[in-house]
Structure 1
Amino acid sequence: MKLSVSMWSLWPKISKQEADLKDFLRFCWEQKVQYVELLDIFIPDQETLQEAKTLLNKYSLTVSSFSIGNDFVQEKEEDRKKEVETIKEKLKVATQLGAAHMRVFSGNMQEGITFETAKQWIIDGFKEVVPYAQEQGITLVLENHGLLAGKSTQVKEIINAVGSPYFRANPDTGNFLLADEDPLQAVTSLKDLISFVHFKDLKEVPEGQGEYTALSGKKYEGTILGEGQVPMEN
């Protein structure tokens, strides 16, 4: 297994404008990190993309995954088509960065749209973009996130329905806790479909505390890997 560091780990500082792309890449180089995960929200334009490419080369860093935000649950067909085109454009960016994977989401539930309808839109959307990903030699990896793909069974169902070796799983260990699913059991159930993993830990805290709320109402806050509810020793 190859380990990488995600730029999302620096979000608290980035959100306060205390750090940026060059700070993250320099830090990884100083810590002798070889692989990094970059996100589209931190590379908003061509100028930043060129800066990223220059710094990656300078520090001899490899992009393990380029993570994007997308949502196929759009009531209008034209909006779903826009999502398809957006993913295709992001794949071009991932190619320029030399990424082997691109993290994707399913979508968010919306009022007035049934679960089955939303799920079919997600499947149809990925069926349309996967051939383009294959042309680029990039594997799309679906993260467990939200109500439509928060559980391992949901992730597996979507991946199997799309049916491509270029569309696989990106389990996030902490996110399974928010879906009230045991992270170890969830990852184990997806083991034959996994191409990329986000190791994240959360610890349960009393009601009224914590940044994250599980489906059951349990409250969690982020913590150092191995110090929360994710059984890393296994």
Structure 2
Amino acid sequence: MQFGVSSYSFQPLLRRDEITLEGVFEQIAASGGTHMELATLTIGQGLEAMMDYELYEDAETRGRLEAAAANSGVALSGLCIPASFIDEDAKARRAQIDRAKRYVDLCADMGVRFLRTDVVPWALRPQSYAQVEAFFPVITDACVELAEHAASRDVVTSIENHGFLMNSSERCRRLVQAVNSPNFRMTLDVGNFLCVDEDPLMATRNCLDIASFVHVKDFLLRKQYPGPGWLETLGGRHIVGTVFGFGDVDTREIVRAVLASGFDGYVSLEFEGNEPTLMGCDTGLANVIRIFDEVRAEIGG
């Protein structure tokens, strides 16, 4: 098992030019991490530029990433991209699928084996169960095509339990089963289940057998609105990110479940709290490594 950090965790510093991509690799190495997962949304100047950014068009940045990985000893483990396969306009939907396939090719060319793509916009909240059912075969067809291309390049693609519509352990399991390919799995985010009010421990246990990558994070959870900056869940509760180990997620039992499952791949910390970024990343990663070590010792692994 290898522990690292998603570039998403450093997004506030990257946006303000207070850290470079090279600095992210160095910071992870100094904190004891061995890999960095790149969310392409974190590269670019300003939010609008980030939304339009395509790494496959940026040879200079690809070279910087490869050099930084080599110099720091921190591997580039995976890429995460936003995507949506449900556009009613056939041309726009085709462009999204072809774009995702280009990222499969980019992963293969860079020696990166894992690609996570969204399949619907993150913020889209389902209006009805019927809406989800209507989207499901459209999403499945796109993911089948993506998985077939990924198989030809020895890349593993995945859906993440991300946002509000394609979230929940059962919905993710259903899609992975429908695609039915070893090249389409799940990026299992242990905290994101809270967005749809599912218990993170139970949901994590339900999905570990289909996980190709694991994201660890922590949240504070409140039933009543605490004030600005908190995200409202699908069921009307409120969450905000915090340092891993500081919040209300049962992190130790989730770690126990991960170890018991036999998962032995990449584990990425995603810090998205209000605490200072470097503190959240450094302390969070230290807690991840410590808790995994402690629980491993407890179970004799």
Quick one: which amino acid aligns to residue 29 of structure 1?
A: A
Decide which moves more: 203-212 or 88-97.
Answer: 203-212
Quick one: which amino acid aligns to residue 104 of structure 1?
A: T
The equivalent of 2:23 in structure 1 is 23
The equivalent of 2:63 in structure 1 is 50
Cα deviation for residue 92 of structure 1 reads 2.0
Quote the Cα distance in structure 1 between the aligned partners of 2:59 and 2:146: 22
Q: How does 1:192-203 map to 2 (within 5 A)?
A: 192-203=209-220
Decide which moves more: 172-181 or 139-148.
Answer: 139-148
Report if aligned partners of 1:62, 1:98 keep a CA contact under 8 Å in 2.
Answer: no
Cα deviation for residue 160 of structure 1 reads 0.5
The equivalent of 1:219 in structure 2 is 238
2:150 matches 1:133 = yes
Cα deviation for residue 208 of structure 1 reads 4.2
2:188 matches 1:175 = no
Cα deviation for residue 111 of structure 1 reads 8.2
Equivalent pairs counted in the alignment come to 234
Report if aligned partners of 1:119, 1:148 keep a CA contact under 8 Å in 2.
Answer: no
Structure 1, residues 5-55: CA drift from partner, whole Å, max 9, x if none?
Answer: 111111121222222312201212333422110122327422111111121
Quote the Cα distance in structure 2 between the aligned partners of 1:71 and 1:192: 25
Larger relative contact order (Cα-Cα within 8 Å, sequence gap ≥ 6): 2
Quote the Cα distance in structure 2 between the aligned partners of 1:50 and 1:4: 21
Quote the Cα distance in structure 1 between the aligned partners of 2:230 and 2:110: 33
The equivalent of 1:207 in structure 2 is 225
Structure 1, residues 119-154: CA drift from partner, whole Å, max 9, x if none?
Answer: 111101011111111111111121001233111111
Structure 1: state its 5+ residue gaps.
none
Cα deviation for residue 73 of structure 1 reads 1.4
Structure 2: state its 5+ residue gaps.
44-53, 254-301
Decide which moves more: 62-71 or 42-51.
Answer: 42-51
Q: 1:230 aligns with which of 244, 249, 259?
A: 249
Structure 1, residues 143-182: CA drift from partner, whole Å, max 9, x if none?
Answer: 0012331111110111100000111111112211111000
Structure 1, residues 157-213: CA drift from partner, whole Å, max 9, x if none?
Answer: 111000001111111122111110001100111121111111011102441424311
Report if aligned partners of 1:212, 1:221 keep a CA contact under 8 Å in 2.
Answer: yes
SS of aligned partner of 2:220? strand
Report if aligned partners of 1:106, 1:148 keep a CA contact under 8 Å in 2.
Answer: no
SS of aligned partner of 1:202? strand
Report if aligned partners of 1:66, 1:101 keep a CA contact under 8 Å in 2.
Answer: yes
- Supply the RMSD in Å over aligned alpha carbons: 2.0
Report if aligned partners of 2:2, 2:34 keep a CA contact under 8 Å in 1.
Answer: no
Cα deviation for residue 214 of structure 1 reads 0.7
Report if aligned partners of 2:188, 2:208 keep a CA contact under 8 Å in 1.
Answer: no
Larger helix proportion of the pair? 2
Query: Share of identical aligned residues, percent?
Result: 27
Quote the Cα distance in structure 2 between the aligned partners of 1:39 and 1:123: 23
SS of aligned partner of 1:190? helix
Quote the Cα distance in structure 2 between the aligned partners of 1:30 and 1:89: 33
2:167 matches 1:150 = yes
Structure 1, residues 74-130: CA drift from partner, whole Å, max 9, x if none?
Answer: 111111111111011111222233212111112034889932221111101011111
Quote the Cα distance in structure 2 between the aligned partners of 1:28 and 1:224: 16
TM-score, scaled relative to structure 2 = 0.73
